Structure 1
């Protein structure tokens, strides 16, 4: 193709760039005259021709190199993308595993096992390190950041693993501190090192705050990255918040202004009372600056002897005592109510009121707890009394000394407890790690059996006690409750120390008819084996006022095996100026052979059921309630609560309505039996149409 003449183009451009004709300026033109038009003569055709080098071919080698490079780049990119997607799958699996380890750690913490929590966090760290090593080997974290421009979820992977690593390390640190607190806490408060205990708790709270912030971030990242909703981290955050609240409450007691007091009630199961046994003795534990500065063991009659209040005692006790005091105030099955009432009387006693002393809380322990401690620390030599106290003879020897010992002559019958207490504490403080672990397991078991119950006025501490099932609180029936509830509560009234030789069995047979009426047959059998003992207080008549707790709406149909008893008050309360206690007044029913009342949200049937030494008796009660309409798939809930300190077995036999069976037994009948029930048993049964 012929090339276009350059001059044509050049001339054209020259005319444009360097025009020889000048137009008059606007200011030089007469008004109303248009500017002169300029006409250019353009070439008819402008041809642009692409030039190329003549005599050279395209380089094939360069094209081949480019193609190979492109393929290699695609291969490398594909390799990284493939591994990134594999990493995401690995991440999802690892995130779930790590979450499971965290859940295990939470359970361990709740069971006072920081060592177990530490082991779970260690496993979580190993799982995390495994995925991190794989990612680093192929530089996948760096590449995932690039992919984050197209898929934001990938961009979060490195940040998530960074946060997860920090979370795991911090949780491991918290476990270490918790383990140290559990191991050395008792030594610190008894050995004057409470300030270090306080510092550890404050450090723990700081770390928990950081951990909670991380858990929120991880929860959000987990929702974005994995097929998970992050609820495990939410649950962890909630538990961390609760632990932080608990630690705050503990600090307020350990490090509060002035002296802080905690009462320990020693409940004697040889003489049963509704919350677990007669409080013959107690200890006033005094804290200051994180240290226990005083452990004052006392006879309960010391403060009651300085009590000027005139309060009418429970009706069943009025022939035994004219006044109500701390010694008999654990009259309520609900331990928090009993604890509040005992503390009320203690604080009203001149022993404490004149010094304006109040108590932050109370812990009730039964003799079984002391027995467990002696099993761990070994026998205690008490040369002043020519005794060796061990797990087997503790209660019997103490009661023998209190009833007949020389200290009774000087009006200090329980002085032996003041002698034993510091020896026992010294042994506890000196325990090795093996002994500590053994004792913790035993304490956990005693909490489950309601042999240890606690109440604190600080809501932060009490909430933790409630969640740990250590409050001795009566089960609260939820709204719309479908099911049944049973508790059998004994109160020894002038029956000596006979309950230590009483055995009890509870047998409930329940059925539902076609109309939804629940019919219950309850048989309570009690055997008195004290006749083999030489001491009169073990061979006495077991005079027992028994209460049956059930769901509101039940009505008594019949009762046999019980008896009436006339209780004659020692004084005329009206003329003597005594007052009624409002809490007591709420739970006392009308006088009769069976007293029907309400307590702790339950209907109660109260009656006298006494047993002579060497005898066995059975109380049988039939009662029923309407209103349960059976249907396919309906859940029936049964709750049994044991009285603290009572040696009792329990058996439940339950018949489904006609035309139905229980899913759990695949039969119309369901049976549950235990010789040593925990403090609370909850059974869920599902009705299935036959």
Structure 2
């Protein structure tokens, strides 16, 4: 094939002709202008041999963002806002609070200090938001009463209202619309918090952690609604008097929930680590304490946020629950602090740093004694390094110490009905558990020649509560099945009747069962353990378990918790009553006794207080019934304010003189008895024994109640003080009303009463406080008090110590 001619023709760069170049081009020389030829193309080529040394330009992300332009108004005009209408709407939202003017006693009872503060407490002032609900007929005086700072803030808000354009108020409408969404998310968060608390208490740490995460997510969602939708005008909204409160309140509520969730995270982590660790009990307690200490700052911050979250800024359906929750949460935060204190005390008690030995006495309420019941059995338990080393429970019970007792002391006169020698089983003579515990420890030391580091009293009802949680227990060795309903009767029969008389170890079953119970607790579920702990807490509050420790610091901590069973010391001018029954030679008949206590304090015109106390005991047993069918013989004591004078007494019955045991002449007087019971004397008309004990005056006498019968005894006495009368401004619904209408000066008086419950004795208590004509109630400390025209009444079941207070004021002359 013939090859084509591929030679390339060179052309002029100016005229594009051939045969010459641009230097010799005639066309260029003939022209006076220099022409520049530019080659263009639609698509630029790219050479793969070209290296671009310049950095590439970053994409301009703002290129497509349109520039801000003011809205074009064809006819600009100034919008006005009906500020007065907004205030009226705000007041209508708070109108429900006006009912407090008619039922003021209930919130006063919650806010005021019980009994101790003189007159009407300052805390009777209602929350600040109620000020706006007042109806003032003198607006100038109202404005004049506002402080300069407060007035300045209102003035600034008004200026903002005038200067801000109308969109600020449309923003308020937007806040209202999204408020429901915020509150729903917040409610979900608090419900998750509540669920996590319950699961944590039931040791379900996995479920608790899931609910904590859900709570945090809900609070974050609610926070994002506020922040993302309304960030632009938050600083303005906070300055508006109507909008700012609502915004700040809800924002503070979210902050509170967030801090609560964080606090729960620490707490749940601590519970989980305690469950998974193999540490000694004392080390587990201290580990839990460290996590509680880490959680407390979060709880404290949550409490502060709750305090700043006014319920009035929330929808009506959330207001009451928030107020209740704030009170409960404040109690929870206080409990966290107290738990730290308790953990320190418990670590010491179970021998974290040293060896500890305790005397544990088992009391039978069926045979009532001052601290709870007759001591038929006892144990000594040793602890070290947070571990129980062992317990010794004598098979013969308390009487095993009788033969080893080397001291011979005379018992209190009433106890001589059962024995002429004072012994261990009768040592719980005083209702002050500290005093009785020390006497028990003294008798134990005189018998066993060893000391103990504390005494713990446990009533038989604690066993019933334990069995109600774990269910029936079968003990094969003793051929018994114990249930919550029958355990006491079953054990009573085994130790009194069905035991080996030759071996003579009636209380051996107690040791067998105790060993079985201890073994059971080591294999209990976490849920049942929490139930047992809750039951033990209830038992301690009701004095079914009482503690005494030789370590003063530990003893004071248990006194603070109300678990030491001491006789309370009252303040000057405060009434006091403690009815104490001791069954002496009355078998187990207290199991069939129902007791009522009626107390009446009559205030005289001159302020003197005459008190009448009636004790009514009904025996529901049948004559001849085993254990319970005999007469109930009770030495009944009334502890009243020191210096009270017995005016009259009746209804008592003294046992036969020949039934008493006369102590041997060479028996010594007990030093503790002489130290505690002083000033002994006898009320001649009634034979009532009067002494001074524990800072109180004590009236003692005998009540004997036959099966199927009811006995009633009374004592009338005058208190050693008068009620305080003082002239002060009349009690008002709120302190701010004095700025509108000056309060009249009225004569006021207060009365306070402390009533203590006896361990093992659940009495029905009734009290009446009666003032002379012309007086009316102004304040009460407890909503259980029923107000009357000239005083108040109260009715309650004495499972715990109670405190009541009443303030009366002179009626206005009509």
- Fold similarity call, TM over 0.5: yes
Query: 2:487 — aligned with what?
Result: 394
> Are 1:501 and 2:592 matched, yes or no?
yes
Equivalence map 1:590-601=2 (5 Å): 590=681, 593-601=687-695
Query: 2:787 — aligned with what?
Result: 665
- Structure 1: gaps spanning 5 or more residues: 1-64, 148-157
Residues 541-562 of structure 1: CA distance to partner in whole angstroms, max 9, x if unpaired? 3222110112234221111111
Query: 1:150 — aligned with what?
Result: none
Q: 1:600, 1:287 → 2: CA distance?
A: 32
Q: 1:447, 1:207 → 2: CA distance?
A: 25
Q: Which protein has greater RCO, CA pairs closer than 8 Å, 6+ apart?
A: 2
Q: Secondary structure at the match of 1:372?
A: helix
Query: 2:41 — aligned with what?
Result: none
> Are 1:623 and 2:740 matched, yes or no?
no
Q: Is the 8 A contact 1:311 1:581 kept in 2?
A: no
1:251 to 325, 347, 350: 347
- Give how far 1:637 is off: 1.9
The structure-2 alpha-carbon separation of the partners of 1:244 and 1:508, relative to structure 1 and needing over 3 Å to count, comes to: closer
Q: Is the 8 A contact 1:630 1:657 kept in 2?
A: no
Q: Is the 8 A contact 1:380 1:423 kept in 2?
A: no
> Are 1:522 and 2:613 matched, yes or no?
yes
- Give how far 1:275 is off: 0.9
Query: 1:204 — aligned with what?
Result: 288
> Which deviates more, 455-464 or 295-304?
455-464
> Which deviates more, 249-258 or 639-648?
249-258
Residues 93-138 of structure 1: CA distance to partner in whole angstroms, max 9, x if unpaired? 99xx99x989x99xx89x9888899799789746753454346647
> Are 1:639 and 2:740 matched, yes or no?
no
Query: 1:608 — aligned with what?
Result: 702
> Are 1:422 and 2:515 matched, yes or no?
yes
Query: 2:806 — aligned with what?
Result: 685
1:557 to 647, 653, 656: 647
Query: 2:8 — aligned with what?
Result: none
The structure-2 alpha-carbon separation of the partners of 1:160 and 1:462, relative to structure 1 and needing over 3 Å to count, comes to: farther
Equivalence map 1:83-232=2 (5 Å): 125=216, 128-130=219-221, 132-134=223-225, 137=228, 168-175=261-268, 177-178=270-271, 195-212=279-296
Number of equivalences: 584
> Are 1:271 and 2:361 matched, yes or no?
no
Q: Secondary structure at the match of 1:417?
A: helix
Q: Is the 8 A contact 1:639 1:683 kept in 2?
A: yes
Residues 511-559 of structure 1: CA distance to partner in whole angstroms, max 9, x if unpaired? 2221222222222122234434443x43333222110112234221111
The structure-2 alpha-carbon separation of the partners of 1:452 and 1:135, relative to structure 1 and needing over 3 Å to count, comes to: same
Equivalence map 1:267-666=2 (5 Å): 267-298=363-394, 299-346=397-444, 348-349=445-446, 351=448, 353=450, 357-359=451-453, 361-432=454-525, 435-436=528-529, 438-440=531-533, 442-458=535-551, 461-481=554-574, 484-535=575-626, 537-564=627-654, 566=657, 570-573=662-665, 575-577=666-668, 579-581=670-672, 585-586=676-677, 589-590=680-681, 593-625=687-719, 627-630=722-725, 632-663=747-778, 664-666=786-788
Q: Is the 8 A contact 2:252 2:306 kept in 1?
A: no
Q: Is the 8 A contact 1:514 1:658 kept in 2?
A: no
Q: 2:201, 2:754 → 1: CA distance?
A: 26
Q: 2:724, 2:663 → 1: CA distance?
A: 51
Q: Is the 8 A contact 2:362 2:376 kept in 1?
A: yes
Q: 2:588, 2:762 → 1: CA distance?
A: 14
> Which deviates more, 126-135 or 211-220?
211-220
Residues 60-116 of structure 1: CA distance to partner in whole angstroms, max 9, x if unpaired? xxxxx99969x9xxx9xx99xx99xx9xxx9xx99xx99x989x99xx89x988889
Q: Is the 8 A contact 1:596 1:604 kept in 2?
A: yes
Query: 2:134 — aligned with what?
Result: none
Residues 137-174 of structure 1: CA distance to partner in whole angstroms, max 9, x if unpaired? 47969x99xx9xxxxxxxxxx99999995774244322
The structure-2 alpha-carbon separation of the partners of 1:210 and 1:368, relative to structure 1 and needing over 3 Å to count, comes to: closer
- Give how far 1:205 is off: 2.9
Q: 1:580, 1:387 → 2: CA distance?
A: 44
Q: 2:556, 2:229 → 1: CA distance?
A: 49
- After superposition, the CA RMSD in angstroms is 4.9
Residues 28-51 of structure 1: CA distance to partner in whole angstroms, max 9, x if unpaired? xxxxxxxxxxxxxxxxxxxxxxxx
> Which deviates more, 439-448 or 286-295?
439-448
- Structure 2: gaps spanning 5 or more residues: 1-65, 73-163, 239-250, 312-325, 727-746, 779-785
Q: Secondary structure at the match of 2:372?
A: coil
Taking structure 2 as the reference length, the TM-score comes to 0.60
